[in-house]
Structure 1
Amino acid sequence: MQRRRASRWLPFLPWMSALTTADIRRDTMAGLTGAVLVVPQGVAYALLAGLPPQYGLYTAIVPAALAALFGSSRQMVSGPTAALSIALFATLQPMAGTGGTDYLSMVLTLTFVAGLFQLLLGLARLGVLVDLVSHSVVTGFTAGAAVIIAVNQVPYLLGLPSMTSDGFLGLVPLLLESLGNAQGLPALIAAATIGGCLAIRRWLPRWPAMLLALVGASALAVWLDPQGTVINRITAMPGGLPPLSAPDLTLDNLRQVTPGAIALGLLGLVEAAAIARAFAARNGERIDANQEFIGQGLSNLAGPFFSGYLSSGSFTRSGLNAMAGAGSPLAAVLSAVILVPVLLVAAPLLSHVPMAAMGGLLLVVAFNLIDRDSIIEAIRCSRAETAVLLITFASTLLLALEFAVYFGVLASLALYLRRTTRPPVLIKTLDQAPARLQQTLVEPETDVVRIDGSLFFGACETVDQQLEPLVAPNLVILAAGINFLDLSGIHLLRKQAHLCQARGGQLYLAWPKPDVETRLRRAGILIDQSDNKDVITFIRTTKAMFL
């Protein structure tokens, strides 16, 4: 009992106690690989979030280690992500601009509030809430975020001054007006970075493509523009451990960031849960969504005190972690630990990296964010899923990003309710009914109706309208598809039974499910069963029930 209780609050104890020497060796190599990959990724994502480059690396240390220790996935690696970085930028940039102390303070505060929200959901055992965000919502959001990422990199690719605007639609005209001032050398650097990254991924898939592409682009930039007058470089990044910091929890700051924090916190949970489930399915494992919520919440709750911003599961780093042979969360923890000396060594070198090269890498990231297979699948298979995807995509481009998630969820729920409140009702004659039913019923004047959906308050009006034209004395409802019946559904059946009696016939239910029949008995409807009890149930009622 004590061990189970300890495992609940300290979920890393079971897997840590089961580690062997071979496991530690394998996880160490995977952690080293992840630490090398996160350097260019962390820098890129921090710039995407409107933050100094070192904050991306800070976010990959303490928050990533806490998410691994207190989560439930054995191979997922957390840290800065592209989708959350661009969402964070789009949410806070209209409030505080970028680059200043006010903006950084709001970033840390939003991260803290989002972490608190995630932790409370996990402690309340509300992991099921992540199921409200459908796959189409995530696909539409990430596709929209990818477009925003790509458009925001155009100034760096063409050597243009940094541009700020009120949203995606405001930035496009500014870019079109500035195209005449484009520079050739930054565009060449960006093209070389993209080409080198894609080539390494194609022919040397186990090599760190992003890191090698950055090194090559930096060398090319030094050769073409040694003074940095045309090809802008990244601002010099201080080395050292992440400095201690704290969120600003004043009432005014909390009021501004809380709506966005809740939306981005939910998005981070969806992203992490989806990645954790994907890797668990590959390995035949199960994840605990509530524990995953707790792990993500603790990582974002503690991150702001160590200069970390909003983090979640990273599909790229998790995939590399799995491919490198990681077998436990120790790999993610070691990746965070190894990153500390890497940060001390690499920080001074980042001032030689061209902004155009970072923009090129972010274009690669944006392209990979678009889940083309899921988009094609949605278009081929479901108009409703396509509508949800397009609504979320358009909302991401036209609205604040936190509202895009809300719109996508609302669209999913609206379409789901539309389907459930309009269950298919198929009307047949008796000679079209199943043979077993024809053998049981001998009355010729009988309508047969099949209802494929639950009879609840939202569906009864639609079903009643479709049953209204029926005039035969007897009515048979094929009830095998009725999974649930509420009080409104009981009233509907009472009404139909009364109408059948008024025409000199009866109402029958064929193959009702046990729960449905039990509810009808409790409702006081008189039920008789035929000799063939598994086929048909007779429902009789009295006029007194309708007075």
Structure 2
Amino acid sequence: MSLKKIFPFLTWLPLVKNSWKDDLIAGITGTIIVIPQAVAFAMIAGLPPVYGFYTAMITPIIAALFGSSYHLISGPTTTSSIVVFAVISKFANPESELEAFISLAIVLSFMAGVIKLLMGLAKMGKLVNFVSHSVVIGFAAGAGILIAFKQLKHVFGIEVPLGSSFYEIINYIIVHIQETNLYVLGVALGTLLLAFLIKKIKYISRLYMLIAMILGSVLAILLGGNLHGIETVGHVPSNLPPFKVPDFNFEDMRLLTTGAITLALLGLVEAVSIARAVALHSHQKLDNNREFIGQGLSNIISSFFSSYASSGSFTRSGVNYQAGAKTPLSAIISAIGLMIVVLFFAKYASYLPKPAMGGIILLVGYNLIDFHHIKQIIKSSKREFIVLMVTLLGTLFLELETALFLGILISLFFYLEKTSKPNIAVFGKNKDEKFLNVIRDETAKECPQVKIIRIDGSIYFGAVEGISSYFSDLYEKNESKHLLIISGGINFIDLAGAEWLSQEVLKWQKRDGGIYFVGLKIISQDILQKGGFVKTIGAENIFKDKNTAITTIYKKLDQAICTNCEVKIFNECK
């Protein structure tokens, strides 16, 4: 194994001598962007703001060194944060049991990292392809709504009971709406409005969250701050992430296993999806397995530095690419920049008002709802819409991991249900002497002795019943003794399919006919060859082209019928 396989940063390190200026600018931009996000995401996870900073310092460096994408920025994200809160809050209250909550969050990060790493080493990168686009969009939309509603206590200044569900939050806010603190509401809505306005200003739009939070803090001071119940995030330690071995308690780890799997799977889907989205513009070739390893190592190593679970950030990755980053050095510069800010300017973060953060997080939640793709799904596919809605509603009313797995299962069910019914078209020859689907042209005529069909789809265990039923009808209701299958659309044949196919061939041969194949792919022939099914089917009945097949089959036809036939669709007939 080459050193570049073990240490992928050796691949891009030589490029730095020409790109360091671009990476420096992108890195500094990333530092500014991550400051408000780190605080907001830590709050979403139920953790003190400093843990958002710790996570944004360590994970980007490890992911940059060992990942695949040149532009992906890792760190705290909305999705990871909300999953961390949902998983840990079952076992510890973040307000009354903060130490235990933090400890479990760090152990959860380590466990998710180990799962990601093992999946990468086992080359399971293709697994993320089984999480459909609709599941991701539905989960993100549900998470966005959930995030927004969980911040309403900071927006209205109403003490919503801890651990309240989505429905309970709505109900509690409605019942206690008269308790709203208008000063708190003013700061939250003011910050939200400022963020919307600043985002529309071209030259400072990238910094809209940071500027809105600063102005929101000024607004809170002008309104009287703590005198009117406007809480701040409190003391933020001015130090680098401390090295501390996570508390590996077997019982805790057993309880967190399901959550760790969910977190790992979601984090990988998120990271790989973002890396792919950026790669569409950068034209970089990605390695999913390498990305899995990078994400896994970043979670494992960072957990020893008081960091919680992380993944790829769409916002920061997009900004990183647009700011001109050429190599992962920009992610490392961004992390180092944040270390400098925390060391020398942490005291200013302690003045951030929670209502201002609540207003910003409302916007974060709103941005997670991909209205464009949701409209596209509604218009294009009922099945995909069902998958989206099940995942979205599941995210709101069920456990997050249940919602995710439910969405994946339903999308896989629809996929299997669709592939279990391959399209089968009947072919004939039209007046222009062209073979085509008889449904497409009423003038197309069929040979009375040879049925020609085309199968579009795989012949596998899930599809055998449907295809078998079609063939039974064909056998019983059709006088043709010979069946020619145009096989270019058969993607693969599994063992169940091969066994059924060989039995079907024998059935047709018993009535002095046969089944013949044209254009059967090598991959489809593989199981037939290895399983010995070709002996039953007959190698002489598998043809490369249609003309050779028809010439061979014609010799087996009843010539008496051919003499009186008025159709004569084959050249041999004439």
1:449 aligns with 2:453: yes
Q: Residues 495 and 527 of structure 2 are in contact (CA less than 8 Å); yes or no, is this contact kept in structure 1?
A: no
Structure 1 residue 161, shift from structure 2 partner:
1.7
Structure 1 residue 254, shift from structure 2 partner:
0.7
Moved more, 523-532 or 418-427: 523-532
Change (3 A) 1:252 1:163: same
Structure 1 residue 180, shift from structure 2 partner:
1.8
Q: Deviations over 1:476-511 (max 9, x none)?
A: 333222222233323333443344345554333344
Equivalent residue number for residue 494 of structure 2? 486
Change (3 A) 1:473 1:260: same
Once residues 228 and 115 of structure 2 are traced to their aligned partners in structure 1, the CA distance between those partners, rounded to angstroms, is 46
Once residues 299 and 199 of structure 2 are traced to their aligned partners in structure 1, the CA distance between those partners, rounded to angstroms, is 32
Structure 1 residue 431, shift from structure 2 partner:
6.8
> Secondary structure in 1 aligned to 2:363?
helix
Equivalent residue number for residue 69 of structure 1? 65
Structure 1 residue 386, shift from structure 2 partner:
1.8
Match of 1:32 among 15, 24, 28: 28
Once residues 68 and 415 of structure 1 are traced to their aligned partners in structure 2, the CA distance between those partners, rounded to angstroms, is 37
Q: Residues 83 and 142 of structure 1 are in contact (CA less than 8 Å); yes or no, is this contact kept in structure 2?
A: yes
> Secondary structure in 1 aligned to 2:143?
helix
Q: Deviations over 1:288-324 (max 9, x none)?
A: 1111111111111011211110011111111111122
> Secondary structure in 1 aligned to 2:82?
helix
Equivalent residue number for residue 545 of structure 1? none
Q: Residues 506 and 538 of structure 1 are in contact (CA less than 8 Å); yes or no, is this contact kept in structure 2?
A: no
Equivalent residue number for residue 7 of structure 2? 10
Equivalent residue number for residue 153 of structure 1? 151
Moved more, 381-390 or 144-153: 381-390
Change (3 A) 1:185 1:538: farther
Change (3 A) 1:229 1:325: same
Equivalent residue number for residue 544 of structure 1? none
Q: Deviations over 1:245-302 (max 9, x none)?
A: 3322111111111110111011111111111111122111111111111111111101
Once residues 167 and 258 of structure 2 are traced to their aligned partners in structure 1, the CA distance between those partners, rounded to angstroms, is 22
Once residues 367 and 442 of structure 1 are traced to their aligned partners in structure 2, the CA distance between those partners, rounded to angstroms, is 58
Once residues 69 and 517 of structure 1 are traced to their aligned partners in structure 2, the CA distance between those partners, rounded to angstroms, is 44
Equivalent residue number for residue 480 of structure 2? 473
Equivalent residue number for residue 44 of structure 2? 48
Q: Deviations over 1:321-352 (max 9, x none)?
A: 11221111111101111111201233212232
Once residues 387 and 279 of structure 1 are traced to their aligned partners in structure 2, the CA distance between those partners, rounded to angstroms, is 28
Q: Deviations over 1:349-393 (max 9, x none)?
A: 223222111011001111111112221222222222222212211
Gaps in structure 2 of 5+ consecutive residues: 439-444, 555-574
Change (3 A) 1:250 1:292: same
Moved more, 343-352 or 192-201: 343-352
1:526 aligns with 2:538: yes
Equivalent residue number for residue 268 of structure 1? 267
Change (3 A) 1:506 1:201: same
Gaps in structure 1 of 5+ consecutive residues: 540-547
Q: Residues 509 and 537 of structure 1 are in contact (CA less than 8 Å); yes or no, is this contact kept in structure 2?
A: no
Moved more, 462-471 or 361-370: 462-471
> Secondary structure in 2 aligned to 1:241?
coil
1:85-234 map, 5 Å: 85-99=81-95, 100-206=98-204, 207-234=206-233
> Secondary structure in 2 aligned to 1:425?
strand
Q: Deviations over 1:164-191 (max 9, x none)?
A: 1353233222222221211222221112
1:403-442 map, 5 Å: 403-427=402-426, 435=434
Once residues 70 and 144 of structure 1 are traced to their aligned partners in structure 2, the CA distance between those partners, rounded to angstroms, is 32
1:90 maps to a residue whose letter is: A
TM-score w.r.t. the length of structure 1 is 0.91
Change (3 A) 1:155 1:519: closer
- How many pairs does the alignment contain? 535
Percent same amino acid among aligned pairs? 39
> Secondary structure in 2 aligned to 1:60?
helix
Once residues 146 and 433 of structure 2 are traced to their aligned partners in structure 1, the CA distance between those partners, rounded to angstroms, is 56
Equivalent residue number for residue 504 of structure 2? 496
